[in-house]
Amino acid sequence: MKTDLNSLKNQVKEELKKEGGSLGVYRKYLGPKGEITQILRSLKDLPEKERKEKGKLANEIKNEIEKAVESGKYKTRDAKYKTQDAHFDITVPGKKPSLGHLHPLTLARREVEEIFESMGFSVIGGPEMEKEWYNFDALNIPKDHPARDQWDTFYLKNGLLLRTHTSPVQVRYMEKNNPPLRIIVPGPVFRHEATDISHEFELMQVEGLMVDKTVSVANFKAVIDEFFRRFFKKDVKTRLRQDFFPFTEPSFDVSISCVVCGGKGCPTCKKSGWVELAGAGMVHPNVFKNSGLIPKDWQGWAFGFGLERLVMMKYKINDVRLFRSGDLRFLNQF
Ligand code: DAH
């Protein structure tokens, strides 16, 4: 035991030399569970002779530690913790931070807005959660009319629905604003549909509306020609064919010469040379009426198209679901 304490004393001396009276040394030996504390505590059970010898040595060690600690030399620094000055090579090329960017549909939407704004159109918004009245009735699509089947609708528990097209904004806008009017309405619309490469339940639609005293199909053709040429940056041709929409009379579908093959015929245009991109027509008198305007005083044209189709044509994308897939391999290309 004696030798034990002697070597312990040497050990402590060594440590004090190295570290000074550090808090760590103090705790190790004199803390509640410290080695010396325990020895001192066990003295009372020893025979007298041994107790005296051991007690003396243990107290010497204790005093030595306390002296060192009290001399105020708590060590707060140690060179071994200090990292070397890092070598900094200023010639190493920096790491390029990867920045996000706008979604391809947002980019396209801004492009569409710019083109129409340059032709004097204002960009207008409307609610995505819509009243049945604006989405259907006011657009001359009465309840139980078979035309409603054209739009598979998400009806909401609160009595409203998710708008199936941007056309309701025509009525909302004409209720509050007097002609002459020139607006486009870009925004999401929703269809209760099974999805596949060409169907999605959410689409970005762009509605257009122009109302004035004398507005004709020729005006529409001029505007839409100009738009498509500028959007596709190609000399595309536009074709109107008779169609049916309850809110326009007459109504047409709008096709453009296929931008993939230039009208020669390819799989994209199903060999026809034309791709159908929009619906359009002259605003129906009932739509004017339902907006509070006097039908005989005004003429107007309107159109609506899905932005996805246009972007798919422009960049040769073959699956509409890619837009909302969140797939970075797709998104990073824009
Ligand atoms: N709202 C129609 C749809 O979603 C598209 C449309 C067709 C809009 C003709 C119009 C229009 O403004 O005149 O299928």
Contacts of 94 (CB under 8 A, 6+ apart): none
Ligand 1 mutation target, pool 206, 217, 247, most atoms within 8 A of CB: 247
Q: Are 300 and 267 a contacting pair, CB within 8 Å?
A: no
**Average confidence (pLDDT) over 103-122:** 97
Residue 43, phi-psi category: left (phi > 0), alpha (psi -120 to 50), beta (remainder): alpha
pLDDT at 1: 47
Evaluate: CB of 165 within 6 angstroms of ligand 1.
Answer: yes
Which atom of ligand 1 lies nearest, measured to the CA of 165?
4
Cβ proximity of 285 and 246 under 8 Å = no
The residues of the chain that CATH labels 3.30.930.10 are 104-331
Q: How far apart (Å, rounded) are the C-alpha atoms in residues 332 and 334?
A: 6
Q: Measured between alpha carbons, how far is 99 from 76 in angstroms, rounded to an integer?
A: 43
**225-234 average pLDDT score:** 96
Residues in the chain: 334
User: Quick one: average pLDDT of 118-134?
Assistant: 97
Ligand 1 center to residue 245 CA distance, Å?
Answer: 7
CB contact at 8 A, 183 and 122? yes
Backbone region of residue 134 per phi and psi (left: phi > 0; alpha: psi in -120 to 50; beta: other values)? alpha
Please report the sign of the dihedral spanned by the C-alpha atoms of residue 164, residue 284, residue 221, residue 255.
Answer: positive
167 CA to centre of ligand 1 in angstroms: 6
pLDDT score at 75: 61
In this predicted structure, the answer to whether residue 73 has a pLDDT above a threshold of 60 is no
Please choose from 303, 309, 310 the residue to mutate so as to test ligand 1's pocket, defined by most ligand atoms within 8 A of CB: 303
Structure tokens at 180: 């002459």
How many A from CA of 282 to the centre of ligand 1? Answer: 11
Superfamily of domain 104-331: Bira Bifunctional Protein; Domain 2 (3.30.930.10)
Among candidate residues 23, 46, 67, the one with its CA nearest the CA of residue 5: 46
pLDDT digits 0-9 by tens, 276-306: 999 999 999 999 999 999 999 999 999 999 9
Would you say the CB of residue 168 lies under 6 angstroms from ligand 1?
no
Answer yes or no: is the C-beta of 253 below 6 A from any ligand 1 atom: no
Predicted local confidence at residue 188, as pLDDT: 98
Between residues 18 and 129, the one the model is more confident about: 129
Q: Distance from the CA of 234 to the center of ligand 1, in angstroms?
A: 25
User: Residue 60 to residues 5, 9, 10, 20, 66: CA-CA distances in angstroms?
Assistant: 10, 8, 11, 17, 10
pLDDT of residue 67: 84
**CB of residue 167 inside a 6 A radius of ligand 1:** yes
Q: Is the CB of 248 under 6 A from ligand 1?
A: yes
Which residues lie below 8 Å from residue 143, measured CB to CB, with a gap of 6+? 136, 137
- 268 compared with 173, residue with greater pLDDT: 173
Which residues fall in the annotated binding site?
249
103 vs 2, higher pLDDT? 103
pLDDT tens, 55-69? 898 898 888 888 887
Q: 280 C-alpha to center of ligand 1: Å?
A: 6
pTM of the predicted structure, to 2 decimals: 0.72
User: DSSP secondary-structure letter at 180?
Assistant: S
Q: Concatenate the DSSP letters of all residues of 69-133 into one string.
A: HHTT------GGGSPPPPP--TTSPPPPPPP----HHHHHHHHHHHHHHHTTPEE----SEE-HH
Give strand pairing partners of 303: 208, 280
* Shortest-distance Cα residue to atom 13 of ligand 1: 280
Which residue's CA lies nearest to atom 6 of ligand 1? 304
Residue nearest to atom 8 of ligand 1 (CA): 304
Cα 280 to Cα 102, 217, 255: the distances in Å are 29, 10, 11
Least Cα distance to 183 among 163, 210, 143 occurs for 210
Residues 6+ apart with CB under 8 A from 302: 167, 170, 207, 208, 209, 210, 247, 248, 280, 281, 282, 283
